[in-house]
């Protein structure tokens, strides 16, 4: 018996490990990256728009892969993404924005992997809550690693950003999943 319930679950966990490796490998490098790119580019509306579109290209497949969507589901999904992007644009610094994106992606991958596992018959108690807890733990791990690095500190505000990102994306995914179930039950009845 394989540890993973499906190839898709395995791919999701591998994707999570790759994302975490990228996040953890670049800890402490943000000031150098900002200096190399230049603050004018990072703060420009065009760069923010490009980055927002990249977020959509990464997050949408995680939300909707392997699903037939009704118009209402698409509208709700786009609305949730719009709210997320507006929250992202309102943040003051590039680093805060990347935290929001990074941990939304981490949380979405964890949540989707746990749901895939549960949907394939494996025992996963309260996958939404478990995904949130795992995501928060990974954010705490991020800050704990930074505490050990020179010129970095454990920042509780960053932990709050990680928590906000995980809560928004997992809550949104939970709402979309409830909507999907409701629509499926209506389709079967009607």
Q: Using CA atoms, how far apart are residues 136 and 143, in angstroms rounded to an integer?
A: 11
Helix orientation angle between 156-189 and 94-119, rounded to the nearest 10 degrees: 40
Please state, as a whole number, how many other Cβ atoms lie within 10 Å of the Cβ of residue 67.
11
pLDDT digits (tens, 9 = 90+) for 40-90: 655 665 666 666 666 666 665 655 555 555 565 566 566 666 666 666 666
End-to-end CA distance of the chain: give it in Å, rounded.
Answer: 40
Length of the chain equals 190
Q: Give the SS3 label for residue 38.
A: coil
In whole angstroms, how large is the CA radius of gyration of the chain?
A: 18
pLDDT digits (tens, 9 = 90+) for 98-155: 777 788 889 988 998 999 999 999 999 999 999 999 999 999 998 898 888 887 788 8
Exposed, middle or buried, 154 (CB in 10 Å: 0-12/13-18/19+)?
middle
């Amino acid at each position: 018996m394989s540890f993973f319930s499906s190839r898709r679950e395995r791919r999701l966990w591998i994707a999570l490990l790759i994302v975490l490796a990228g996040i953890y490998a670049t800890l402490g490098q943000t000031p150098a990256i900002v200096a190399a790119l230049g603050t004018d580019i990072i703060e420009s509306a065009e760069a923010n728009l490009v980055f927002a579109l990249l977020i959509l290209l990464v997050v949408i497949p995680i939300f909707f892969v392997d699903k037939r969507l009704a118009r209402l589901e698409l509208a709700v999904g786009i609305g949730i993404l719009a709210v997320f992007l507006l929250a992202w644009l309102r943040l003051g610094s590039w680093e805060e924005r990347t935290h929001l994106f990074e941990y939304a992606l981490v949380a979405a991958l964890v949540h989707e992997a746990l749901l895939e596992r549960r949907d394939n018959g494996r025992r996963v108690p309260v996958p939404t809550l478990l995904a949130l807890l795992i995501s928060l733990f990974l954010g705490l791990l991020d800050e704990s690693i930074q505490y050990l690095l020179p010129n970095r500190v454990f920042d509780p505000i960053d932990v709050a950003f990680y928590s906000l990102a995980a809560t928004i994306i997992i809550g949104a995914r939970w709402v979309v999943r409830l909507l999907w179930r409701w629509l499926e039950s209506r389709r079967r009845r009607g």
